[in-house]
């Protein structure tokens, strides 16, 4: 009996020691996450900003962080309470206006910007990065150009001439898209357009000599000004258009590739958790969205004589092609 009791006592001590060790590990792991103070700064009360923030919180919660780790404020609310200047462990600026304000009002807190186009973030952050050692990064709103080319190639595999229009902002991407089309054995027809130009005169020669048109985002005003003409001429000339938003697809593009607020929020949540829990520095590498959505317009496809695969087949082919080029 004594021998058995000694064995039981040793076993209980061992189990107790393991439990205490596990508790210490849990405290070491959980406390930094539960105590983390992160400001989610929304540029406005628009639904897409709110959906991005909700997705971010849901993702981090599922991974082990507490909702209390976050403070949420719109730009207007934060300006009234002077909340931005507090010593946060991280500020997540959702939208361009929030990024500008965070950079102006808080000179030290690490900043992750999401839901802002690459060109806008690059312009805003350039001077801030050069002026200090502050950590600043972004998940861009726009897609890598390779995804637009991939979608076009999948839906119009016989096309050997792609058309596109560059504006004052997007002209910087000309070398990249020229390289991408060349890699795929495609000729690129392009032109340059400003707000002062006649869009019809510039667009028509490009659209009529192309098998497929790739719409590249520029600044918002130019996007709105030429979108209707791109879609009108594309339909008139039987030239499919690949867009960069769900609205583009609904308005008459054959298909679009874009990232939803939920997808961008999920990506941001994963980066934040991995940084806090595992010291993963990937968060400080500005990057394109990991998650994306493909939308197609079956009515447009029928009128253009384009055979659309099922949604599942399209995603599988797209993912396979994207992985093969990485």
Q: 148-193, pLDDT tens digit by residue?
A: 999 999 999 999 999 999 999 899 999 999 999 999 999 999 999 9
Q: How high is the pLDDT of residue 126? A: 72
Kindly report the pTM of this predicted structure. Answer: 0.85
Catalogue all structural domains in the chain, each as residue range(s) with its CATH number.
36-140 (3.40.50.2300), 145-258+292-324 (3.40.50.2300)
Pairing of strands 255-258, 293-296: antiparallel
Residues 6+ away with beta carbon under 8 Å from 183: none
Taking residues 244-254, report their average pLDDT. Answer: 96
**Alpha helix ranges (H) inside the chain:** 2-35, 47-63, 75-81, 96-105, 118-131, 145-155, 174-183, 199-208, 220-236, 246-251, 261-278, 298-304, 311-324
307: number of Cβ within 10 Å: 7
Do 249 and 294 meet the contact criterion of CB atoms below 8 Å apart?
no
Query: Mean pLDDT for the chain?
Result: 88
Q: How high is the pLDDT of residue 196? A: 87
Three-state helix/strand/coil letters over 190-251: EEECCCCCCHHHHHHHHHHCCCEEECCCCCHHHHHHHHHHHHHHHHHCCCCEEECCHHHHHH
Q: What is the CA radius of gyration of the chain?
A: 25
Q: How high is the pLDDT of residue 128? A: 65
Residues 6+ away with beta carbon under 8 Å from 303: 235
**Calpha distance 172→157 (Å, rounded):** 27
**Calpha distance 56→60 (Å, rounded):** 6
Do 107 and 86 meet the contact criterion of CB atoms below 8 Å apart?
no
Residue 210: φ, ψ to 5°: -120, 155
- Residue 90's pLDDT band, with cuts at 50, 70 and 90, is very high
Taking residues 215-220, report their average pLDDT. Answer: 87
Per-residue pLDDT at 59 exceeds 80: yes
Q: How high is the pLDDT of residue 119? A: 87
Which CA distances in Å does 81 have to 77, 85, 125? 7, 10, 25
- Residue 25's pLDDT band, with cuts at 50, 70 and 90, is very low
- Residue 299's pLDDT band, with cuts at 50, 70 and 90, is very high
Question: pLDDT tens digits for 100-121?
Answer: 999 999 989 999 999 999 988 9
Encoded tokens for 130? 């050069």
Q: How high is the pLDDT of residue 89? A: 96
Better pLDDT: 127 or 206: 206
């Amino acid at each position: 009996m004594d021998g058995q009791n000694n064995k039981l006592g040793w076993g209980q001590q061992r189990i107790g020691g393991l439990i205490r060790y596990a508790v210490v590990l849990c405290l070491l792991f959980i406390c930094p996450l539960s105590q983390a103070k992160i400001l989610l700064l929304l540029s406005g009360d628009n639904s897409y900003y709110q959906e991005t923030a909700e997705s971010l919180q849901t993702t981090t919660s599922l991974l082990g962080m507490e909702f209390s780790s976050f403070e949420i404020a719109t730009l207007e609310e934060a300006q009234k309470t002077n909340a931005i200047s507090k010593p946060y462990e991280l500020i997540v600026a959702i939208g361009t206006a929030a990024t500008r304000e965070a950079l102006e009002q808080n000179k030290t807190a690490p900043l992750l910007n999401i839901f802002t186009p690459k060109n806008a973030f690059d312009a805003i952050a350039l001077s801030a990065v050069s002026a200090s050692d502050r950590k600043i990064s972004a998940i861009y709103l726009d897609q890598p150009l390779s995804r637009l080319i991939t979608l076009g190639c999948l839906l119009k595999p016989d096309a050997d001439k792609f058309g596109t229009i560059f504006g004052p902002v997007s002209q910087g991407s000309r070398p990249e898209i020229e390289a991408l089309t060349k890699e795929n054995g495609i000729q690129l027809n392009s032109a340059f357009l400003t707000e002062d130009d006649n869009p019809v005169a510039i667009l028509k020669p490009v659209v009529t000599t192309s098998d497929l048109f790739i719409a590249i985002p520029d600044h918002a005003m130019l996007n709105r000004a030429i979108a209707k003409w791109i879609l009108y001429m594309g339909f008139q000339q039987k030239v499919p258009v690949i867009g960069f938003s769900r609205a583009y697809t609904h308005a008459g593009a054959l298909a679009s590739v874009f990232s939803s607020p939920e997808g961008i929020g999920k990506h941001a949540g994963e980066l934040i958790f991995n940084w806090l829990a595992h010291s993963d520095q990937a968060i400080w590498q500005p990057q394109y969205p990991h998650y994306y959505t493909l939308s197609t317009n079956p009515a447009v496809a029928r009128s253009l004589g384009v055979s659309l695969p099922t949604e599942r087949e399209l995603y599988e082919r797209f993912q396979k092609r994207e992985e093969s080029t990485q």
